[in-house]
Each structure stands twice: as C-alpha cells, then as structure tokens.
Amino acid sequence: MIGNIIAAALNPAVIPSFTVDYLVVAGGGGGGRGLTTDSRAGGGGAGGLRSTVTATGGGGSLESGLSISVATNYTVTVGAGGAGSSSQSQSASVGNGNNSVFSSITSTAGGGGGQGNTNTQIYIDGASGGSGGGGGAINSGSGTGAKGTGTTNQGYAGGDGTTDAATYAAGGGGGGAGAVGTNGNATAGGNGGNGVAVSITGSSVTYGGGGAGNKNGFVFGTAGSGGGATSGASGSANTGGGGSSNSSGNATAGNGGSGVVILRYVDTRTISIGAGLTGTESAASGGYKRATITAGTGNVSWS
C-alpha cells in the first residue's frame, strides 16, 4: 500500500490498488404452485453464493479477493428474488431469481420450483440455477418431476418430486448454498437445503437456504437455514433464500428472497455507493470497513 502511494506521487499515471473481499448472493427462486384441491409442488432453490470469507457455496474452496484501483468504477447488481408460481402451466424457470454481480464476480440466480399437476409431465421439473429448484409431482403414481441442478461452487441441487400410490405425491425441496434439497416423501414435501454461514460483516450470518416443497394435503417440509421459506411463504430479503411452494391450491407460491452484495476492505479506504444502489458503509472495526448493498444496479468506487 505505502509503495503504491509513493509510486502514485512520483508518477500520477500509477493508480493505487488494494484488495476487496466479497460476499455475492443471487436472488432465490420462487416456489412451484399446486392444484385447487391439493398440492405437490417443489420449493425454490437458493441464489448462488460466492465468498472470500469463512465459506463459499456448493462446497467449493474460498475464492480470492479482487484487486481494486482507487477512483475507478465497479459495477454492482443485487439480484431480485424470483416470482412464486401462479399457474401449473408454466415452466419452473419462470420463477428463477436474478443474478447478483460485483465487478467480474457473478452469482447465478436460484432455480424455480416445479409445479404440481394432475395428468401431464409438462412443467413439473424444477429449474436449474445457483441452487436448483425442487421437482413437482403428479397425483396417483402418474409421474414425478426431476430436481433442478445447482452451479459448481455456488450451490446444490434440489430434491426430486416423489409419488406414493397410497398417499399421493410430494414435491422436492429447493437446493441450498450449503446442502441439497431432500426428495418429497410419503409423509411431507421435501426439505429445503441449508445455507452457508459467512462472517464477512464480523458476525456469523447464514445465507442461501432452499425453500420447502409440499405434499398432497399441504404438508410442508422444513425451510433451509439462511432465509429459505416454508408453508407458502417467501424467502427472506437479502439472503437469497428460496420461496416455498404454495400454501393452498388457489394461492400463488412464495417468492424467492432478494440477494445481497457485501464488500470488506481496509479501513483507510472509503467507498462511494452510486446512484441506483441502496447500501451503507460501516464504521471501521478490526482494521476493516464493510459496505452492505441491498438493492439496485449501479457503480461503486473507492477513495
């Protein structure tokens, strides 16, 4: 750092640089929708999670911080959560979340949950994404939806939908940043996969939980830790959590939770958060400042 400052003083063309750690979480996928009289839809997958601190998504190795130059603009986008399904007649990918971005780092949106259906194999597969959506199912042993897959080093797959001839069908849980969603079963819908705990803010916070699936009769699985939802609810804001499949046959399923971008850097630097972004910079602590950006698209720069 001192060498860069001296070099910049001697040669104005030299721009000082420093390292920024990041947590970039994409928007979670929306849940699938069941039928009028029952339900067997899949939960939404969590948004992909990339991190340089504590742990990253998908069981991958920690990433490396980015070298950042002062007085230079860097793009940030916080991905919105995907819409919960309002129809059995749409692909699960309609419920996908939105990507989050910091400079060259992109985290992939969570996959939407598959639909519950009466007599067709169409639309019951979960969508792939940062973490995959859970598969839906068809009643009375007629067919089950496949899970959506996750993205390497960002998140895990969802669970498959399951048919049980005696107790009807169940949708799978959405995948989480830290674990796969479980399959539906004869007792309940699949559980959402758990998220990942990250301490970039100085405290341990879990992000990227998958949404729960449900079974005929509206018996839900459990939500994945880290903002995943159950009982037809939406994923938690700024966690990338997956939305749950719907709570009644006539209801729209839960939306995915929005993502977040958190940046950590040496406390001698100050960030400027540009128009179009919502965010705050923390006071210095432990040698660092942190910027938490919760919505929008725009540029950031440092002085």
pLDDT tens digits for 177-228?
999 999 999 899 999 999 999 999 999 999 999 999 999 878 999 999 999 9
Strands 17-25 and 260-266 turn out to be antiparallel
Residue 163: is its pLDDT beyond 90? no
Q: Residue 36 — pLDDT band, cuts 50, 70, 90?
A: low
Q: 286 burial class (0-12, 13-18, 19+ CB within 10 angstroms)?
A: exposed
Residue with tokens 């490396």: 64
Q: What percent of the chain has pLDDT over 70?
A: 91
Which pLDDT tens digit goes with each residue over 226-283? 999 999 999 999 999 999 998 666 678 999 999 999 999 999 999 999 999 999 999 9
Distance between CA atoms of 234 and 256, rounded to whole angstroms?
6
Model pLDDT, residue 165 = 65
Distance between CA atoms of 214 and 280, rounded to whole angstroms?
38
Region 8-28: what's the mean pLDDT? 79
* Cross-strand bridge partners of residue 167: none
Residue with tokens 């400042």: 289
Model pLDDT, residue 217 = 77
Model pLDDT, residue 4 = 45
